[in-house]
Amino acid sequence: MPTSGSRTEFLAVDELGAATEIKYGRTGGWFVSTKKAIFLGLLVILALALVGILVHYMTTCKGMKSGKDIGAENEPSVAIPHETPNTSENTSIPIAELLLPKAITPSYYRLRLDPYLDDPASDGSNFTYKGHVSITIHCHNATNSVSFHAKGLEIGENINVTLSNETNTKTTVTSVLSSSTATTAPTFTAVYSNTTSDAANTTSGPTSASAAAARTTTPTAGPRHKREVSFRRHQRRRHVTSTTTTPVPHTTLPLGTPPRVTGRVHEQRKEMYTLSLEPALEAGQTYILDISFRGLLKDSLYGFYRSSYKAENGTKIWMAATQFEPTHAREAFPCFDEPAMKARFELSISRPADMVTLSNMPIRANESIAGRSDRVWDHYEVSPNMSTYLLAIVIANPDFIPIKDTGYLDTNSQNASSPEFRVYARKRLIDSAKYAMSVGPRILKFYGDFFSIHYPLPKMDLAAIPDFGSGAMENWGLVTYRESNLLYDPASSPMSDKDKVVIIVAHELAHQWFGNLVTMKWWSDLWLNEGFATYMQYVGSNHVEPSWEMQDKFLVYEQQPAMALDSLRSTHPVSSKVQNPSQISEVFDAISYSKGASLIRMLNNSLTEDVLRKGLTRYLNKWKYRNAEEGDLWEALTEEIREKAASSLPPNVTVKQVMDTWTLQGGYPVLTVTRDYSAGSAVLSQVRHTYQHWR
């Protein structure tokens, strides 16, 4: 409605043309029509939405530049750069969301790795690797999704899930193990979302019959409506990468219908890939999960990384090694990277013809690669059931040589009490490995006799790595060490170095039983690994160096430091709940190692050494090649006590009842006795000892 210049508004003239006498004296404001009001409201809503979108993308870009999302903008073109461990991004995720669903568990990995360590290649492939893994998985509950771990890897676009059966699986394994005369290796093609050509993604490698059949006969999905964005650029924009197929109407498919991947989601904060499948996997069935991938040989000292040293002539020599504990196997290959997800591993590694490789098991066969005369496949024997963090790989120059123990028994026997034992080091340092070589085999045999369970693998290698972040790592059959923790030169090293070498060697060899043969279900019970290994390192080193009185050194090296730390208010129970990823690394501390060892020593003195030893043997035999919890150990010790005529515990009291008071709460008690000599009485009181209490 128009307004007058004086902003006095009148009613309209009536139908007879006479003006009404009613006036409104309002002197301000505007009247708008209903349509205009709706239009203006929509404009406001649209403006608010645009502001929200701008804020979101500005925040994302800022995170990209600061490295909070994926990494620096000058990242290599072959793989996502590594992320540092324990970033703040995933610490807020509840632990339940970080664990893989239990509907699917793995039982067998067939892993092939084709690394390029120091090749004068012009295609930019140096310090990268291609890989393919076929994982045998068992479905316990019907599900239409499969989740696995992967971090910092390019996952091939063609992921296959094929139905298998136990008969076919056994036939495949048998044929692979018996095949050692092949002269050419079948090829497999890995397709990536940022590929340059098909040829660039074809890697020669051994392929099992079932895996090959799966790749050639599995029905492929229909036309895909994908986002036309490269894998790497897409990762920079979002924490979740997804690929979807054309929606498929829900239909009832006959049992046994091969599943196909209808979508996948990469949740970087959880370090997981989740595949959507149609039809759902059936409970009780076995499937093969085939994944191609590419990765980067990082310089981070964890995952699958590169290392270097100087040769005697000053030349820089490259080598590669692994450090997968606690959660870095997922950075080397797609896997179910939790300690309870044990499986057997069949590994093949390609290498330059003039280099050597090491892994957990002995090499079964070498194989020339057709069309690549400068490279060779090393095929390894199948490992026992073990956790992913225990898989180990070393790729080295020929001057990385071993000292061999010539006194071992039949290496073909899985029950050999003294398997083949070797210590590897750089050629110019190999003489410094003699002491480790002299004590290692004796400690290994002693442990086998102590637990009445012989070391189950056919060989044991100790390797001194020039660049190694941890002090040592107990990989089954291939223990890796920092050079200073394995090598001792009597001409130049102090006696304390010799003491350190025997203790660390004894510690890592004890892990072959506590941690490898029997593994904790989750990192909350890490002390079952580290506490026992720390206690046994003094038992083992005392066996080979009895004049050193190593059991007395335990008090100085372990118990007294543990009591000092445990008196702080910041201490924690030896059995601590791990609620987020950062806490996994935090539990690798003196409480888990030294206090845990002190509690085992306390049990040895209270239950008697004989009961403890036989109880440990009972525990190891019951849970070997599987995972156990703290309560399983207490149960085994209680059963052993009950079989003795004279029990060291009161009737109806279990080891669990006693030890829960020590493992489930931090600190230790101080007992005070107040005697009243006149009354002939005494009062006992107990308080938790704290450092502040005695200040």
Annotated binding site for Zn(2+): 507, 511, 530
Residues in contact with 189: Cβ distance below 8 Å, sequence separation at least 6, in sequence order = 158, 198, 201, 202, 292
CB 461 within 8 Å of CB 422: yes
Tokens of 22: 């009613």
Q: Helix, strand, coil: what percent of the chain each, to 5?
A: 35, 25, 40
**Judging by beta carbons within 10 Å of its beta carbon (0-12, 13-18, 19+), is residue 295 exposed, middle or buried?**
buried
Bond before 326 cis per omega within 30 degrees: yes
3-state SS, residue 685: strand
Q: Which residues pair with 672 in a beta bridge?
A: 685
Q: Which residues pair with 149 in a beta bridge?
A: 272, 335
- Within 10 angstroms of residue 217's Cβ, the number of other Cβ atoms is 9
CB 597 within 8 Å of CB 615: no
> What is the number of alpha carbons within 13 Å of residue 624 lying toward its C-beta?
15
CB 137 within 8 Å of CB 147: no
CB 531 within 8 Å of CB 599: yes
CB 434 within 8 Å of CB 489: no
Sheet (strand 240-244) strand order: 143-149, 272-281, 260-267, 240-244
d(CA 636, CA 651): 17
Residues contributing to the annotated binding site: 507, 511, 530
Sheet (strand 459-465) strand order: 400-404, 420-426, 459-465, 478-482, 472-473
| Active-site hit among 325, 508, 558, 630 | 508
- Within 10 angstroms of residue 563's Cβ, the number of other Cβ atoms is 15
d(CA 228, CA 238): 15
d(CA 422, CA 365): 19
326-329 — which CB contacts under 8 Å span 24+ positions?
Answer: 326/389, 326/523, 326/584, 326/585, 326/588, 327/85, 327/149, 327/271, 327/389, 327/581, 327/584, 328/85, 328/302, 328/303, 328/389, 329/149, 329/303, 329/388, 329/389, 329/391
Axis crossing angle, helix 630-642 with helix 596-607, rounded to the nearest 10: 10
> Catalytic annotation on 508?
yes
Phi, psi of 378 (to 5 degrees): -105, 120
- Give the residue numbers annotated as catalytic, written as ranges: 508
